[in-house]
Amino acid sequence: MAEQITDLQGKKILLAVTGSIAAYKAAHLVRLFVKQGAEVQVLMTEAAKAFITPLTLATLSNKPVMSEYANLKNGVWNSHVELGLWADVMLVAPATAKTMSQMANGYADNLIGATYLSARCPVLVAPAMDLDMYQHPSTLNNIKTLKSYGNLFIEAEHGELASGLYGQGRMAEPEHIVDEICRFFAQDKPLKGKHCLVTAGPTYEAIDPVRFIGNHSSGKMGYAITEELLAQGAQVTLVTGPTALSLTHPNLKVVPVTSAQQMFEAADQCFPSTDITVLSAAVADYRPAMVAPEKIKKQGETMTIECEKTTDIAAKLGQQKTSKQFIVGFALETENENANAQSKLERKNFDMIVLNSLKDKGAGFGGDTNKVTFIHKSGQTAAHALKPKTEVAQDIVKQIISYNA
């Protein structure tokens, strides 16, 4: 289903431009906002003026650009409090590493920082910097902090950078930013009011207090799906096994678990009230029948661990499923992929299954890409090329929307 994009007629946008070479794109961005019917007030740091003049942005926005708390020449006070109350949205574009650090740590030593702290409106951030700066742990930590505050990010794009290097760090193109703002203001997000359950990551089945049986799942696919469901207006409960990932959002409840039994209990409790369930976790099929109370000492040339089946979460939820609920399952196969996935879909009462094969280079555990085939209850199939997991998540959620919107 095509995503509905609204225009920006009458919306008040506070555009904060900071000192990056990408500041030159602000002129095109302001022009696009104005053409969409928005009222734009531009704020600039002193550093940004080295890349684009305030006169250019003032002419395009039909408003004087603000850079200081007060204009001493005409005695006008630029109130950061009033600016924060005026806006429907504040957009920081481009957002430099320095600016994001200041925002994350509450610095208010310029008009943009003070206005950010005063803003009662949603804040969107469009980073721009060289790829090594973008991937530096301090930058990533600041982004994580800003997201935890509820700020939304328009991720930097891949391409040639001002340094001559190629990679992620380019500020999103103005057209893409405007599309994101339009989506943000969309009145009816397709999954608004829907309650979703997502399982993600691996499970760890204890052998003794030190060792466990596990797998290589990183949780990236499940987390990407969760983010996309949230972006489309859903309320999501994420039941996650042990991963290095984290996610915060006002409409998200995260339930961390370790074992398959814990994952089953959390999912089973949540399932009756959900409309949509996505079972992307890599759940252990077996667990040790006995867990040693102390660390098992090395002895002998071999060791045998007797295992027993874990609860089949997918089958249990499939048995409970009503006609008003929609379940998406996953199948990671190494042989007879389509036949095995089709069988799993039928046995576990899924509405759709996402098949991927470990034989496909770039697919499966750990990486940032995946190659999947969608198999529907109706028998319809759709194979997709290798894509970043974020794009695969978008494709999965589009399929969900087509059945549930």
Q: Judge contact between 222 and 198, C-beta under 8 A.
A: yes
Same domain, 157 and 124: yes
pLDDT of residue 362: 59
Is residue 282, in this structure, part of any structural domain at all? yes
CA atoms within 13 A on the CB side of 288: 17
CA–CA separation, 331 vs 353, rounded Å?
A: 7
pLDDT of residue 80: 82
Same domain, 72 and 179: yes
Q: What angle do CA 213, 360, 348 make, to 5 degrees?
A: 60
Closest CA to 313 of 281, 337, 343: 281
Same domain, 308 and 369: yes
pLDDT of residue 1: 29
Boundaries of domain holding 270: 195-288+301-404
Same domain, 271 and 179: no
pLDDT of residue 142: 93
Same domain, 77 and 200: no
Same domain, 255 and 388: yes
Same domain, 127 and 154: yes
CATH number of the CATH domain containing 51: 3.40.50.1950
Average pLDDT, 10 consecutive residues per value, the chain (405 residues): 51 94 94 92 94 95 86 70 89 94 91 91 91 90 91 86 78 90 75 93 94 90 92 91 87 93 96 96 93 89 91 95 94 79 91 80 66 87 86 91 79
pLDDT of residue 146: 92
pLDDT of residue 262: 96
Is residue 130, in this structure, part of any structural domain at all? yes
Same domain, 179 and 209: no
CA–CA separation, 8 vs 179, rounded Å?
A: 10
pLDDT digits (tens, 9 = 90+) for 91-111: 999 999 999 999 999 988 899
Same domain, 175 and 230: no
CA-to-CA separations, 314 to 34, 66, 138, 228, 392, in angstroms, rounded: 50, 56, 39, 22, 21
Quick one: tokens of 96?
A: 């430099």
Residue owning tokens 């089946």 = 309
Is residue 400, in this structure, part of any structural domain at all? yes
Exposed (0-12), middle (13-18) or buried (19+): which is 294, by Cβ within 10 Å?
A: exposed
Closest CA to 341 of 324, 351, 327, 355: 355
Same domain, 131 and 65: yes
Number of domains in the chain: 2
Annotated binding site for CTP: 285, 295, 330, 344, 348
Q: Print the SS3 string covering the chain.
A: CCCCCCCCCCCEEEEEECCCHHHHHHHHHHHHHHHCCCEEEEEECCHHHHCCCHHHHHHHHCCCCECCCEECCCCEECCHHHHHHHCCEEEEEEECHHHHHHHHHCCCCCHHHHHHHHCCCCEEEEECCCHHHHHCHHHHHHHHHHHHCCCEECCCEEEECCCCCEEEEECCCHHHHHHHHHHHHCCCCCCCCCEEEEEECECCEECCCCCEECCCCCCHHHHHHHHHHHHCCCEEEEEECCCCCCCCCCCEEEEECCCHHHHHHHHHHHHHHCCEEEECCECCCEEECCCCCCCCCCCCCCCCCCEEECCCHHHHHHHHCCCCCEEEEEEEECCCHHHHHHHHHHHCCCCEEEEEECCCCCCCCCCCEECCEEEECCCCEEECCCEEHHHHHHHHHHHHHHHHC
Same domain, 173 and 253: no
Annotated binding site: 285, 295, 330, 344, 348
Which of the residues are catalytic? 215
Residue at which a domain ends, from 152, 185, 218: 185
pLDDT digits (tens, 9 = 90+) for 128-166: 988 888 889 999 999 999 998 989 999 888 877 777 778
Q: Which residues contact 239 (CB under 8 A, 6 or more apart)?
A: 197, 198, 199, 200, 255, 257, 263, 266, 267, 270, 281
Q: Judge contact between 267 and 278, C-beta under 8 A.
A: no
Closest CA to 253 of 268, 279, 234: 234
Specify the pairing of strand 381-383 against strand 373-376. antiparallel
pLDDT of residue 74: 66
CATH number of the CATH domain containing 204: 3.40.50.10300
Same domain, 104 and 160: yes
